[in-house]
Chains A and B, each alone.
Chain A
Amino acid sequence: MNETVAIPAGKPSEPGRGEREAVERNIVRTHSGKIKIKGRNRSQTAITALCLVLLGITAVAFATFDTGSIDFGQAVLDTLHNIRTVFLEPELVRDTVGGVLYQLLVTFCLGILSTIIGAVLAFFCSLLCARNIAHPACVNAVKSVVAVVRAVPTVLWVLIFAVSAGLGSVAAVVGLTFHSFAYLTKAYAESIEEMDPGVIEALRANGASYWQIVCQAIVPTTITSMIAWTFMRFEINFANAVAMGAAAGAGGIGFNLFMAGSFYFDLHEMGMLTYIVVIAVVLLEMLSTKIKAKVR
């Protein structure tokens, strides 16, 4: 933040000599005698440094990109042409509207399943890794495991489970669950940690058991933020389920997209499917905003 020099406000009449000197001492001047109006502090230095580092990395990235022998101008023109085909001339040829909507429902269900399983597991796991109710050693252990689980991309979880369960909805749901579980554990634990410590203390003083504290204090006070996080995750899971259909053959509308785009090379079909997905996502977003506003 900019740090402006504090000049005592109020009556300008006759400040005492000592007072004036105190004000003078607080004013930082540049070499030419101008008053410095911007202070440097740690946060600002950090921001500047970080920006420079990021810009540096970007410059290195662009310098080292091996773009091969691609005709950039031609590729951009082709892209624009394809974008026009996809978004302005959508039509369904291979699938029926009903069939596509059913696939959309399948994707939706994959999202719901992974969100529910992930949320239930995350709830119990977050009880183990919230600093205010769990043992510190337990907190650190669980948090590290969760961080590793979260670091593995969803698609890799799906493919790992596809080895044992085969490609399909089981691998998709379990794979999607892993990432949402880790994400929600972190989010839930943070909401539990934000709780007023007095509530838990009061129940403990009354001799309430662990599960009484969980059910009567933790759940009622954190439920709103947990619901908000869960819905946010559901939106992400829906988008991920579309992607898993395309990248890992997990079924649903994502698979139709993949077939249209990479198998039949049918841009018109891809456009229609994209519109259906986009409309579904926007509707979900509106619903989630409504629910979040309601529970708050």
Chain B
Amino acid sequence: MQITKQTKANLDIFQRRKITYTLVFLVLIAVFAGASLVSEFNLLDGVASFPAAMQWIISNLIPDAEAIERIPKILSELMETALVSVAVTVVAAVLAFFFSLLGSNITRVNRVVKRVVRIVAAFFRNVPDVVWAMLLMFSFGQNILTGFFALFFTTFGLLTRAFIETIDEVSSGCVEALDATGANFLQKVFQGILPSSMPGVITWVLYMIETNIRSSTLIGILTATGIGYLFDLYYKRLDFASASLVVLSIVVLVLVIETVSNKVRKVIL
């Protein structure tokens, strides 16, 4: 009696699952069709473009003589992009850390300041970096600082939110303990919060460096600076061999940074 009951219940689970899967599948297809209609996207065209693009990649992967001549130029731009990404992330991280102290539940000055900090962070995070880039283009022109500040604003907003979460997650116990010993604000920050949230902070900083290298390509295309500009230049001249060399160099840089940060993360976590 009991066995049949259980089997029946199990069957129900399987049937219910099947129905759920089918429903989800149908809804996804409907959404997909609707979205394709609005954005004039055609899945077949997308699939059809795939072989041609692959062929393009393969045929341009091996640099020709002209592209090899450009290696020093590409490397110097790549170096600059890497330096900008690290510098932006470090400066933004230092500022965001102190800013996030005001926005964290544990160390906040008062409720109003906390709200303001979170709104400011959300603002910087959500205004697209494209907007910052174009805005700064007007005043800084075709300059390395345009890219620097464009990346800076979004990084600052993102890191502030991330650090607030890290601090809230990690530090409540040690801050309570330090409070009990009568530590002042600075002592709490430097003896309690900073050491305990450091692994989380470092993980975020490494992630942002990687992201910023990728975003700086985009910003470079818009503001005509750095490695993005170089790609755009070769691309528009239809010098695809050099353009793909630029892509390759970015891939290598990102992979190197990813490997290093994975190693570091393994040690510190």
Contacts and interface: CB of A to CB of B under 8 A. Distances in A.
Give the residue among A78, A113, A161, A278 with the most B Cβ atoms within 10 A.
A113
Interface size, B (range)? 35 or more
B56 A160 contact: yes
Contact of A154 (B83, B198, B214): B214
Given A57-B83, A57-B87, A243 B218 contact: yes
A119 to B, nearest CB: 9
Given A43-B267, A174-B50, A75 B251 contact: no
A202 B40 CA distance: 47
Nearest to A254: B130
Given A58-B91, A112-B31, A169-B41, A270 B46 contact: no
B39 A164 contact: no
Interface string B72-108: 0000000010011011011100000000000000000
A247 B130 contact: yes
B221 A152 contact: no
A68 B14 CA distance: 68
Contacts of B268: 43, 46-47, 50
Interface residues of A, number: 85
B267 A42 contact: yes
B258 A174 contact: no
A110 to B, nearest CB: 5
A289 interface: no
B39 A277 contact: no
29 contacts: A51-B202, A60-B83, A65-B148, A68-B143, A79-B135, A79-B136, A105-B38, A108-B35, A109-B35, A109-B38, A112-B31, A113-B41, A116-B31, A147-B255, A148-B251, A155-B218, A156-B247, A160-B53, A160-B56, A161-B53, A163-B52, A173-B46, A220-B17, A254-B128, A262-B137, A274-B128, A278-B127, A281-B126, A285-B126
Across the A-B interface, give the 8 residue pairs with the lowest CB-CB distance, nearest first. Answer: A261-B134, A78-B139, A164-B52, A165-B49, A109-B35, A61-B83, A61-B87, A151-B254
Given A109-B34, A270-B131, 4 more contacts: A42-B267, A116-B28, A163-B240, A215-B17
Interface of A: 1-2, 42-43, 46-47, 50-51, 54-55, 57-58, 60-62, 64-68, 70, 72, 75-76, 78-79, 81-83, 86, 105-106, 108-110, 112-113, 116-117, 147-148, 150-156, 159-161, 163-165, 168-171, 173-174, 177, 215-216, 220, 239, 242-243, 246-247, 251-252, 254, 257-258, 261-262, 265, 267, 270, 274, 277-278, 281-282, 285
